[in-house]
Chains A and B, each alone.
Chain A
Amino acid sequence: MQVLISTLSQGLIWTILTLGVFITFRILNFADMTAEGSLTFGGSLCAALMLRGVNPFLSLIIAGLVGSLAGLITGILHTKFKIQAILSGILTMIALYSVNIRIMGKANLSLLGKSTIFSALNNIFPMFKSDFVLKTFIIGFVICIFSVVSLNLFFKTQLGLAVRATGDNEQMMRALGGNTDFKKILALMISSFFCGLAGALIAQSQGYSDVNMGTGSIVIALASIVIGEAFLSFIKFKNKILSSLICMVLGSIVYRIIIFIVLNLGMNPSDLKLFTACITAVLLGLPKLKKFKLKLGGNKNA
């Protein structure tokens, strides 16, 4: 039971990152590598602030808000400097590596003994005092719900609709009087906000922030996205965006469960990144593989 909740809560915390990457990768149709940098950026900021005595909740919010600046930079590189999407993100990500070390003053910061948002829960619910896993679950759950609801509301507004249309058909959006550069920058900033928030949450839950904590995180998020999308055939709300967002939560949780299972089966933890990359590649390629199979089948009949 404890293990299950622990896996679930890990999934819930990493959902925030998945949501961030989902906004750029699926809604904006923009392969944004910034995520790896902004995750660590959020983590470093949060840890550095907390060590200077800032309230952990406030640190979390600031980490998200400042994290969104990473998206702003990527957006400006892409829309104003006309640098390719993928390269804009890589530039920001690499630059953030140095920035993160500057922020922390060294390669990692420990939050040992600091009060975090998780320990703050002790005062509200004294009965959970010793149960760290349950606290992670509650906080992850609340933040997830809040994120899903607010993103769902945003994408139903006129502006949110315009952001989605920019990702879907940029030329149309311009012909309909939309400033697509602005919409792209906005979406990248929202995405980075969530990545930064995720970084801060992860730092607080694991008790330290590390300059390498973002490495490979984009692949984890992509794996969660493609796993989540497999649920789209079961979760069919009238509201398509809400269904997608809920699938992202499910995808992130299922990813954690898969990781838990393969680790228990004896996989070397250092092989996880290879494993994750393989799942992502296969799931992304699956629709094409199916078509290929159909083609072969068709030839046989012909």
Chain B
Amino acid sequence: MLKLNNIYKKFNKNMADEKIIFEDFNLDIKKGEFVVIIGGNGAGKSTLMNLISGSILPDKGEIFIDSQNVTYLQEHQRAKFIGRVFQDPLKGSAPNLTIEENLSLALLRDKKRGLLFGISQNNREFFKNELKKLDLGIENRLESKMGVLSGGQRQAVTLLMACLVKPKILLLDEHTAALDPKSSVKILELTEKIISEHHITALMITHNLNNAKKFGSRVIMLENGKIKLDTSKDKIDFDSI
């Protein structure tokens, strides 16, 4: 499903502060897996996400999604296959656009945006139903600006936006780290619900070992750009980490 072959990535190439992140890094993720990635700061977790999403390109190596070589596709071209939720709740949605406008844009993720009207009545009904499932009471606020929602609400809508068109891979980059504990739990439960309902292949970065224990089917631990541990969840002994 998702394959990274012999990836090399350096930052600040040929400079005094050159930093090697990945050297001959390989990863193979199967369809339907929910992979939780853990590891300390600077281990390469976010770089890995950015390589997959295409916001940075590898120096060497190849990336395949569903046996299609996407190594040289730009970020917006890969977005057809990839849904993404960022750590910062403000990054995933446009604050000055309304909720329905944000959702309409998400609905067109894998399509060309043309001169048809952005929002149709059919879409509105669909959005309402989808928002209802979030259980946040925002299904009747389609025309409110996104910016008036709280961080937790915005992150929930962003999650919905990422999955509105079923992605081949869902990337979650510490998407609950900036939320209060209560919203954090809520978003994680929602994440699990959406992922299992739609059988989405997902990668989630977390700093929280409890989350790693609770969610996901496979755990990968990164250290200095290498996979230190890669195991299915039931086999892992969390106390040893």
Docked Cα-Cα span, A177 to B106, in Å, equals 9
State A157–B90 Cα separation when bound (angstroms).
Answer: 24
- Within B76-119, the residues touching A (CB, 8 Å) are 76-77, 79-80, 82, 84, 86, 90-98, 101-102, 104-106, 108-110, 113-119
What separation, in Å, do the CA atoms of A262 and B202 have in the docked complex?
A: 64
What are the residues of chain B within 8 A of A158 when measuring CB–CB? 104-105, 108, 113-118
Which of A154, A159, A168, A172 has the most chain B CB atoms inside 10 A of its CB?
A: A172
Residue of A171, A174, A176 touching B106 (CB-CB under 8 A): A176
Q: Point out the residue from A157, A173, A238 that lies within 8 Å of B115, measured CB to CB.
A: A157
- Report Cα–Cα, A238/B102, bound state, in Å: 17
Contact for A175 among B84, B118, B119, CB less than 8 A: B84
Chain A CB within 8 A of B75 CB: yes
Residues of B within 8 A of A174 (CB): 55, 75-76, 79
Bound CA–CA A165/B86 (angstroms): 17
Asked whether B143 is an interface residue with its Cβ less than 8 Å from the other chain, the reply is: yes
> Which among A157, A172, A177 is the interface contact of B94 at CB below 8 angstroms?
A172
Residues of A within 8 A of B93 (CB): 169, 172
Residues of B within 8 A of A177 (CB): 76-77, 79-80, 108-110
From A156, A161, A171, A240, B105 is in contact (CB under 8 Å) with A161
Contact assessment for A176 and B79 in the assembled complex, using a CB-CB cutoff below 8 Å: yes
Question: Chain A residues with Cβ under 8 A from B143's Cβ?
Answer: 238
Residue-wise, chain B 22-61 has the 8 Å CB interface mask toward A (1 for contact) of: 0000000000000000000000000000000101000000
Contact A171:B91 (CB < 8 A) given known A157-B116, A177-B80, A180-B76: yes
A122 and B151 CA atoms in complex are apart in Å by 60
Contact with A along B139-176 (1 / 0, CB 8 A): 00001000000000000000001000000000000000
B56 → A minimal CB distance (Å): 13
Chain A stretch 27-70: residues in CB contact (< 8 A) with chain B: none
Question: Is A207 located at the chain interface by the 8 A CB criterion?
Answer: no
> Nearest-CB distance from A234 to chain B (Å)?
19
Measured in the bound complex, the distance between the Cα atoms of B104 and A162 in whole Å is 10
Closest beta carbon of chain A to B166's beta carbon, Å: 14
Chain A positions within 8 Å of B98 at CB level = 240
List A contacts of B77 (CB < 8 A): 177
Query: Within the complex, which residue of A159, A168, A171, A178 is in contact with B97, where a contact is CB–CB below 8 Å?
Result: A168
Asked if A172 and B75 sit within 8 Å, CB to CB, the answer is no
Instruction: Collect the chain A residues with CB atoms within 8 Å of residue B74's CB.
Output: 179
Beta-carbon contact of A159 and B96 below 8 Å: no
Q: Are B94 and A159 in contact (CB under 8 A)?
A: no
Number of residues from A at the complex interface, CB < 8 A: 24
Could you tell me the distance between the alpha carbons of A240 and B101 in the complex, rounded to whole angstroms? Answer: 12
Q: CB-defined interface of B192-210 with A at 8 Å, one 1/0 digit per residue?
A: 0000000000000000000
Q: Are B75 and A162 neighbours in the complex by a CB distance under 8 Å?
A: no
Distance, CA A239 to CA B79, complexed state (A): 29
Instruction: Write the chain B residue with the least CB distance to A170.
Output: B94
Q: Does chain B have a CB within 8 A of A160? A: yes
A172 with B92, Cβ < 8 A, contacts A161-B105, A161-B118 known? yes
The interface residues of chain B lying within 8 Å CB-to-CB of A160 are 118
- Give the residue among B76, B98, B116 with the most A Cβ atoms within 10 A: B76
List the B residue with the shortest CB-CB distance to A178. Answer: B76
Check if B79 sits within 8 Å of A157, measured CB to CB. no
Select which of A156, A171, A178, A180 is within 8 A of B118 by beta carbon.
A156
Q: How far is the CA of A173 from the CA of B104 in the complex (A)?
A: 12
Q: Are B94 and A168 in contact (CB under 8 A)?
A: yes
Smallest distance from the beta carbon of A52 to chain B beta carbons, Å? 34
Query: Which residues of B sit under 8 angstroms from A157, Cβ to Cβ?
Result: 113-118
Q: How far is the CB of B95 from chain A (nearest CB, A)?
A: 6
User: Which residues of A have CB within 8 Å of B95?
Assistant: 168-169
Q: Which residues of A contact B161 (CB under 8 A)?
A: 176
Interface centre among A157, A177, A178 (most CB of B within 10 A): A177
A163 nearest CB neighbor, chain B only: B113
Bound state CA distance, A260 and B118, in angstroms? 42
Q: How far is the CA of A156 from the CA of B86 in the complex (A)?
A: 27
Is the CB–CB distance between A165 and B108 below 8 Å? no
Q: Quick check: A162 and B94 within 8 Å, CB to CB?
A: no
Contact residues in A for B84 (Cβ distance below 8 Å): 175
12 A–B contacts from the bound complex (CB under 8 Å): A158-B105, A158-B116, A158-B117, A164-B94, A172-B93, A174-B75, A174-B76, A174-B79, A175-B75, A177-B77, A178-B79, A178-B113
With A175-B79, A176-B109 known, 5 other A-B pairs at CB within 8 A are A157-B114, A157-B118, A158-B104, A165-B105, A172-B94
Q: Which are the 3 A-B pairs with shortest beta-carbon distances?
A: A177-B79, A168-B94, A158-B113
